[in-house]
Amino acid sequence: MKRYVVKRIFSGLLTVLLVFTLNFVIIKAAPGDPIKTLMGKENSDPQLRAALEEKWGLNQPQYVQYFNYLRNAVQGDLGTSITYNQSVNKLIAEKVGPTVLLGVAAAIVALFIGTAMGIYCARHEGGIGDTIFSGFAYTLDAMPSFWLGLMLILIFASRLGWFPTSSMTDVRAGYTGMRYVADVAYHMVLPCLCLIAITMPGYFRIAKSSVLQVTNEDFITTLRATGMDEGKIFRKYIFRNAILPTITTFGITLAFLITGVTLIEIVFAWPGMGRLTMTAINQRDYPTLLGIYLIVSVAVSLVMILVDIVYALFDPRIRFE
Amino acid sequence: MAALLEIKNLNVTYRNKEKSVYAVRDVSLSLEEGDALGIVGESGSGKSTLAMGILRLLPEATADVTGKCLFKGETDLLSISQKEYADLRWKDISIVFQKAMNSLSPVHRIRTQIEDIYHVHEPKASKEEIRERSLELFRMVGLPERVYNLYPHEMSGGMLQRVAIAISLLHEPSLLIFDEATTALDVVTQGQILDEVVRLEKSMHMTRIMITHDMSVVSASCSKVAVMYAGCLLEFGPVGKVLKDPAHPYTQKLMESFPSLHGEIRELKSIPGSLPDLSILHEGCVFAERCSKACERCLKERPAMRDVETGHSAACFALKEVL
Amino acid sequence: MAKSNKRSKLTRYLQGFKSDAQFRAGVIGIVLLLLVVALTPVLVTHDAHEFGSLSLGRPGQDGHLLGTNHMGQDVYSMIIEGTSTSLKVAVISSMISAILGILVGGIAGFFGGKTDIVISESINAFLMIPTFFLVLLVIALFGNSITNVMIVIGLTSWPGNAKLMRAQALSLRERTFVKSAVALGETRLQILTKYILPNGIFPVVANTTRGMAGAILTEASLSFLGLGDPNIISWGQMIYAGKNYITTGWWVSTFAGIATIITVVIFYLLGDGMNHVLNPKYSFGKGGGK
């Protein structure tokens, strides 16, 4: 177990290092002067320029520059946003809350629905329910998330008027307390639904194939041969074995989920990192974009390490390694 | 005395939308109490399907099982309900599967699995009671006590196979089926386990069916042998007779290919041709196409099982010439 | 020996076409898509680039089958034109990804040992990176031309292919015909290019096909963030452009999205179908004894 955890943390760190390195390479390789990239095209303040050159050590050899960059990044210095003239750290810290709220809520619901449906379809393989739902999941998997978001707005907000089209709260109403929470929940329905719809097929697929596979294992046949009740075989043995890949999928889906959240936030004008990303792209605010990329990558790596450790708790084969 | 198990005209057919595969065709054989029957054949000969058919463990949607299978002279295993069958399972009939590595759940301790299996028939049994029974069986099959608390991945293949055998003996069943149960083991471990099994069943009065493609396993541990090919039973009789003086041309070829009796039947290179397509119902003898003694009749008509001598029969028209 | 192996796989494809509905649907779908691309000049009713006078015309209005967008462009003709953009992105980026994956994975699996450990760890690290943000960053910095988009998608999606190819190479090098080639004194490079790569390539091809669907979706997402190539017509950009008119001109986004879904599903079907066809466990409607 110890060795396993150390190994997982090591490869997590390796990923983070890779991300930092890629970031460095990209800035250096991008067309034009890297300082200009970090300052913004319109800005020509010589003081800022001197400060950045100092920080990057541009007159020093490449590898020194690289280590300078690594040192800054590791210390959490992600630079200053061109558009907001604020530290990128602070900008991201302000926007991270709504994104996490949306992402985590959707991830959990998708996990449960997708897995439950996957199990159902595996238990009734070839039945009508399976055929319909498998086809449904297949189509959802092929859908651009943002397009689905637009369709939800078109149908449920614009035509039916059941839900608001955008944003996180009704600013004019100025709710407080429980009313505020209810208002946020109300605004969350459509974006959440959209995110659930696009992440659910992943859980569905893995749960279905995993249950089908475990059902065909020899030890299940053995248990059947003992006369054990089918319900018990399923609840205790099939489920416990088949759920393992789902845990891993939860980690892998995360990177995908963050992409999804970003796009969905833009569709629904949700005030999170996705919106920040969009503004940064429009303004060519590179320090902010680089910062977002770093933060997201580090966050994904961290969660993946966590997921792997949780996995080990469920699988004795790894726990006792 | 009535036979312990009497299989009459057993057929197993796998069906799907496009075609049917006749995996077991019209097999009849009977087993006396205390017998140890080896069923041998190449892979795809239907020997495992036969066992799974008797155990009613094939998926009912895709596998048709017909015929009769009388257990202890009265219960037809193929016509009772699954619920009635559940009462017989493990108490009267148990099975040990091919790959020991996969025959236990990897995420549950041996203890948990044994307790759950024991509780199927003895729901009130205490943990202590089950532990004692298990440790007694562990001693019999040569396993240390500590195994009881281990996970499957912490054990070797040989140990796991012993665990699987111990579990199959929990309720001292009258019929025990081994489906290639020792195939994956090394020769030494296999020999040890076979010796123990033979010893155990003598003391427990068990009857055993041994499904294998390894002739040496049959000769070492069985009293009767049934030879299967392409879903059909070709020869049946006492091990000494069949192995020494095989009546069916297929068995003869089989024995020629393995003069030492210590080899596996992988592919019969010495017999020209290959296994027939099982999705076609062959009119004649299934082996006719590869048989050097085949005549015109063999291609048109299916030979029935005929006695060579008492208790030794074979399905071949050429029997007289053989004799 | 290596050749016969390849041929048997090709016959499996043919057999698969007959028996696997997914594979068949995928192949037919691809043929249809290619037909649309080839017949674009015949199929379009308007010049897709031309700004007409009718802004946000409803479907059917003034001969515009699927209506017009806010600039007066014919939506139907844009969708037809966009087909070639999507296919181009799919094919070129997947080619890059497949070639990189096959080379990296093939080398890791074939050479084994330390080389393998180093490469495998890097593959795993690459697999953990949130690729989309990397693509986004590079496109924002290097410019949003369609060429850049294709190259970057290709350069970021190879690790999955590499992993598959590595597993193939690992098992292939234990096979008799490779071992005998080693015994006959062929060089490692010869063995790699003559035996390992051609024989291990098939699962990668299936995976790449599914990857093409991913490439189409990534391109669409980039367009939706305003990082599409403004000089070409793509479905993603159509959805993006229709976003602001979703209530007044729903048809602009809707039809482009449907076209995307259909195309992506076709690539999924083809990829999954190939996997069925190549999987030795998947027998063609055969019951099987065990």
pLDDT, tens digit (0-9, with 9 covering 90-100), for C242-274: 888 877 778 888 888 899 999 999 999 988 888
pLDDT at B304 over 90: no
Asked if the model's pLDDT at residue C290 lies above 50, the reply is no
Nearest C-alpha in A relative to C253? A147
* Residue A186: band (very low, low, confident or very high) from pLDDT cuts 50, 70, 90: confident
Categorize the per-residue pLDDT at B184 as very low, low, confident or very high, splitting at 50, 70 and 90.
low
Mean per-residue pLDDT, B213-227: 86
Contact A142 C213 (CB under 8 A): yes
If you search the block for the tokens 């489906």, which residue do you land on?
A: B179
- Asked if A255 lies within 8 A of C131 by C-beta distance, the reply is yes
Whether A147 shows a pLDDT value over 50: the answer reads yes
Which of B17, B21, B63 comes nearest C286 by C-beta?
A: B21
Nearest chain B alpha carbon to A237:
B105
Q: What pLDDT is recorded for position C1?
A: 39
B175-179 and B207-212 strand pairing: parallel
Judge whether B319 lies within some domain.
Answer: no
Chain-chain contact of C286 with B44 (C-beta, under 8 angstroms): no
pLDDT, tens digit (0-9, with 9 covering 90-100), for A214-239: 988 888 988 888 888 888 899 889 99
Which chain B residues are within 8 Å of C289, Cβ to Cβ? Answer: 23, 43-46, 48-49, 278
Look at residue C283 and tell me whether its pLDDT is greater than 50: no
Query: Is residue C93 predicted with pLDDT exceeding 90?
Result: yes
pLDDT, average across residues C227-246: 84
The mean of the pLDDT values for chain A is: 82
B321, part of any domain: no
- Report the domain count for chain B: 1
Is position B67 within any domain? Answer: yes
Min Cα separation C22/chain A (Å): 12
Could C290 and B43 be called an inter-chain contact, meaning their C-beta atoms sit closer than 8 Å? yes
Among the listed residues B96, B80, B148, B90, the one whose alpha carbon sits nearest the alpha carbon of residue B119: B90
Residue C288: predicted pLDDT: 32
Structure tokens at C102: 């096959």
A241/B105 CB distance under 8 A: yes
Cα torsion A34, A39, A41, A43: sign = negative
Q: A-C interface: how many C-beta pairs under 8 angstroms?
A: 134
Interface residue ranges in chain C relative to chain A, Cβ cutoff 8 Å? 121-122, 124-126, 128-134, 136-138, 140-143, 213, 217, 220-221, 224-227, 236, 239, 242-243, 246-247, 250, 253-254, 256-257, 260-261, 264-265, 268
- Average pLDDT for chain B: 82
**Which of C143, C226, C239 is the closest to A282 by Cβ?**
C226
Of C59 and C95, more confident: C95
CB contact under 8 A, A266 and C142: no
Touching C: A residues 246-275, CB under 8 Å: 255, 258-259, 262-263, 266-267
Cβ within 8 Å of residue C92, ≥6 positions away: C150, C154
DSSP line for A209-274: HHHHHHHTSHHHHHHHHTT--HHHIIIIIIHHHHTHHHHHHHHHHHHHHHHHHHHHHHHHT-SSHH
Q: Considering only CB atoms, which chain A residues are within 8 Å of B102?
A: 217-219
Count how many pairs of residues, chain A against chain B, have C-beta atoms within 8 Å: 69
Closest residue in C to A254 (Cα–Cα): C130
Tell me the chain B residues in contact with residue C290 when contact means C-beta distances shorter than 8 Å. 43, 48-49
The tens digit of pLDDT for each residue in B290-301 reads 887 778 888 888
Predicted confidence at residue C264, as pLDDT, reads 92
With CB atoms and an 8 Å threshold, state whether B57 touches A228.
no
For residue B78, what is the DSSP state? T
- Shortest alpha-carbon distance between residue A98 and chain B (Å): 38
Min Cα separation C189/chain A (Å):
29
> Does pLDDT of C87 surpass 60?
yes
pLDDT beyond 60 at C25: yes
Assess if residue B156 is contained within a domain.
no
Q: Cβ contact (<8 Å) for B153 and A232?
A: no
Which of A216, A218, A234, A313 is the best residue to mutate to test the B interface, defined by the most B CB atoms within 10 Å of its own CB?
A218
A 29-68 → C contacts, CB under 8 A: 30-31, 37
Give contacts of A237 with chain B, Cβ < 8 Å. Answer: 105, 108
ipTM, two decimals: 0.82
Chains in contact with C, counting 3 or more C-beta pairs less than 8 Å apart as contact: A, B
Q: Give contacts of C151 with chain A, Cβ < 8 Å.
A: none
In chain C, which residues have their Cβ closer than 8 Å to the Cβ of B14?
Answer: 287-288
Give the residue from chain B lying closest to A238, CA to CA: B105
B13, B270 Cβ separation under 8 angstroms: no
Higher pLDDT, B94 or A71: B94
Write a three-state SS string for chain C.
CHHHHHHHHHHHHHHHHHHCHHHHHHHHHHHHHHHHHHCHHHHCCCCCCCCCCCCCCCCCHHHCCCCECCCCCEHHHHHHHHHHHHHHHHHHHHHHHHHHHHHHHHHHHHHCHHHHHHHHHHHHHHHHCCHHHHHHHHHHHHCCCHHHHHHHHHHHCHHHHHHHHHHHHHHHCCCHHHHHHHHCCCCHHHHHHHHHHHHHHHHHHHHHHHHHHHHHHHHHHHHHCCCCCCCCCCHHHHHHHHHCCCCCCHHHHHHHHHHHHHHHHHHHHHHHHHHHHHCCCCCCCCCCCC
Chains within contact range of chain A (3+ C-beta pairs < 8 Å): B, C
Q: Which residue of B has its CA nearest to C20?
A: B18
- Whether the predicted pLDDT of C2 surpasses 50: no
- If pLDDT is split at 50, 70 and 90, which confidence band does A119 have? very high
Contact across the interface for C121 and A11, Cβ inside 8 Å = yes
Residue of C nearest to A165 (CA): C247
Report if residue B155 sits inside a domain. no
pTM for this model (two decimals): 0.81
Subunit contact C289:B44, Cβ cutoff 8 A: yes
| Bridge-based pairing state of the strands B5-15 and B312-314 | unpaired
- By Cβ distance, the residue of A221, A225, A317 closest to B94 is A225
Instruction: Report residue A21 as tokens.
Output: 């390195």
Cβ–Cβ < 8 Å for C273, C20: yes
Chain A residues lying within 8 Å of B105, measured CB to CB: 219, 237, 240-241
Percent of chain C with pLDDT over 70: 88
Tens of pLDDT, residue by residue over B58-68, are 888 788 888 88
Least confidently predicted of A33-37, A59-63, B27-31, B262-266: B262-266
Domain membership flag for residue B55: yes
Of A237, A314, A317, which is closest to B153 when you measure between CB atoms?
A317
Question: Could you tell me the two tokens for B199?
Answer: 């010893």
How far apart are the CA of B8 and the nearest CA of chain C, in angstroms?
20
- Whether A284 sits inside 8 A of C140 (CB atoms) is yes
Whether the predicted pLDDT of B238 surpasses 50: yes
Question: Would residue B140 count as lying in a domain?
Answer: no
Q: Which residues of A touch C134 (CB under 8 A)?
A: 22, 293
Tokens of A67: 């280590």
Average pLDDT over residues A13-39: 79
* Neighbors of chain B by Cβ distance (3+ pairs < 8 Å): A, C
Residue B112 lies in a domain: no
Interface of C with B (CB under 8 A): 19, 285-290
- Decide: helix, strand or coil at residue A85: coil
- Residue B48 domain boundaries: 5-81+176-184+214-314
pLDDT at C7: 56
C contact test, residue of A146, A217, A277, A305 with most C CBs within 10 A = A146
Q: Are strands B224-229 and B232-238 parallel, antiparallel or unpaired?
A: antiparallel
* CATH (domain of B35): 3.40.50.300
